[in-house]
Amino acid sequence: MKYKSKNDFLNTVVDKYKDQQEFHQAVEEVIGSIWSTATKNKKYMQANILDRIIVPDRSIIFRVPWVDDNNNVQVNLGYRIQFNSSIGPYKGGLRFHPSVNLGILKFLAFEQVFKNSLTGLNLGGGKGGSNFDPKGKSDREIMRFCHSFMDELFRHIGRRTDIPAGDIGVGAKEIGYMFGQYKKIKNVFSGVLTGKGTNWGGSLIRPEATGYGLVYFTINMLETQDDALEGKTVTISGSGNVAQYACEKLIELGAKPVTLSDSSGFIYDPDGITQEKLEYVKKLKDSRSARISEYAKKYKVKFFANQNPWSIKCDIALPCATQNELDLRDAKKLTKNGCIVVAEGANMPCTKDAVHHFIDKKILFGPGKAANAGGVAVSGIEMSQNSTRIPLKREQVDNLLKGIMDKIHSTCVDFGSQKGFVNYVDGANIGGFVRIADSMVDQGVV
């Protein structure tokens, strides 16, 4: 083998992709788990899976020009990373956020490859987006931006090639504008995007799926210790799609969510966020410019400016905002305060050191690629409804979602059990990897 050790391999990744720290972090986490599985397998080594799996099939970068409300011409960068298609067409969200760059999208697309594999569906991995900032933009500006973005993206996607969906800054509204433009350019009505409106091919439960799935996975983890969700106090970060529906399912199942946040700070509601209060948050956050601090004013609770919620005592913590939002200091605060479960609703919200801390302390830690896979799983179910042209009922989709989360959980247990402890990071990485690697071997050097 050309690498002396795992660290030798990882050093070459850092050298090759100097400015892509988030990508290094994601690769290091996966390689840390799969190194021995990969290097002991003769077929994987002959096919050089290790070198091949960390390089995207292609990275597309393009100009997105648009006209703002003052008639000024603006330009953003658009991206689509088509990472791996060994088990299905590329699938993964689009993120619109000023922090978006190639390294961030490569980490997200790389994670998506393993996440999609874990769902058991035939979905390859991809991710895309733009450094466009939807905050402070009018609806018309967002529409013009989405149309221009699709003016280029359309030539790279298709229902059997690459099927984007939402992520940070992209929800039903943006998917609508992009779908409309794709249909106009191609003159085909197809399931080329997921997260569509239910009038035009969207699946019931898709908006809820990531948050609901996260809670189902949390329950599965608790059950391994004969514990249950009811009565547990839960801290949540974020107040967007994933955070809102995680909160909703927690309320329904008798847990007590006490925090929500955004990039300005967090609110702490010690009495618990109720469904009525959550409906207020959903309406408030219809506008991406609205701030969660409004909740504090309305319900007379405390708002902590420029802080995250990990100092609040809880049984369960669900980071649902963004990458690296929970570091070692936060992790120590959580375990010191008695937190027994951390499940990642966001992609890679915990830093490497924070993850190691949780595993050292042997608490239940659910990595994003397993715990937040419910969203892409229901996207897969939306695709199959588009193909059959038969929409499923709410309960049918919810049952399929539960079944997929159960299956992901048992894959993690199968591949991650270590002397009475489940290392979900290893379980998810190895479980996701084996299916991809076997498929790559089957298909030869392509």
CB 269 within 8 A of CB 246: no
CB 105 within 8 A of CB 129: yes
Q: Does 345 bind ligand NDP (CB under 6 A)?
A: yes
Mark the segment that binds ligand 2IT (CB under 6 A) among 91-99, 172-180, 317-325, 329-337: 91-99
Q: Which two tokens stand for residue 315?
A: 């049984």
Active site residues: 127
From residue 175 to residue 214, the character string flagging contacts with ligand 2IT as x (rule: CB under 6 A) and all else as - is: -------------------x--------------------
State the DSSP code for 309: G
Q: With CA atoms as reference, report the closest residue to 366 among 228, 221, 209.
A: 221
From the CB of 140, what's the least distance to ligand NDP, in Å?
20
Among 86, 130, 323, 379, binds ligand 2IT (CB under 6 A): 379
Q: From ligand NDP, ligand 2IT, none, which one binds at residue 137 (CB under 5 to 8 Å depending on kind)?
A: none
From residue 255 to residue 294, the character string flagging contacts with ligand NDP as x (rule: CB under 6 A) and all else as - is: -------xxx-----------------------x------
Q: Does 148 bind ligand 2IT (CB under 6 A)?
A: no
The smaller minimum CB distance to ligand 2IT, of residues 167 and 426, is found at 167
SS3 state at 171: coil
The smaller minimum CB distance to ligand 2IT, of residues 50 and 109, is found at 109
Q: With CA atoms as reference, report the closest residue to 378 among 399, 355, 409.
A: 399
Q: Does 374 bind ligand 2IT (CB under 6 A)?
A: no
Q: How far apart are CA 391 and CA 187, in angstroms?
A: 23
Q: With CA atoms as reference, report the closest residue to 398 among 255, 158, 215, 145.
A: 215
Q: With CA atoms as reference, report the closest residue to 325 among 237, 408, 230.
A: 237
- Binders of ligand NDP among residues 367 to 386 (CB under 6 A) are 372, 375
CB-CB neighbours of 289 under 10 Å: 9
Among 20, 130, 241, 429, binds ligand NDP (CB under 6 A): 241
Strand order in the sheet with 265-268: 259-262, 265-268, 302-305
Q: Does 167 bind ligand 2IT (CB under 6 A)?
A: yes
- Binders of ligand NDP among residues 175 to 214 (CB under 6 A) are 210
Q: Does 78 bind ligand NDP (CB under 6 A)?
A: no
User: Exposed (0-12), middle (13-18) or buried (19+): which is 71, by Cβ within 10 Å?
Assistant: exposed
The smaller minimum CB distance to ligand NDP, of residues 24 and 95, is found at 95
Site for ligand 2IT (CB under 6 A): how many residues? 12
Q: How many helices (H) and strands (E) does the chain have?
A: 17, 15
Q: Does 128 bind ligand NDP (CB under 6 A)?
A: no
Q: With CA atoms as reference, report the closest residue to 428 among 55, 114, 47.
A: 114
Among 347, 385, 386, 423, binds ligand NDP (CB under 6 A): 347
Which positions lie near ligand NDP, rule CB under 6 A?
Answer: 93, 166-169, 210, 238-243, 262-264, 288, 320-322, 325, 345-347, 372, 375
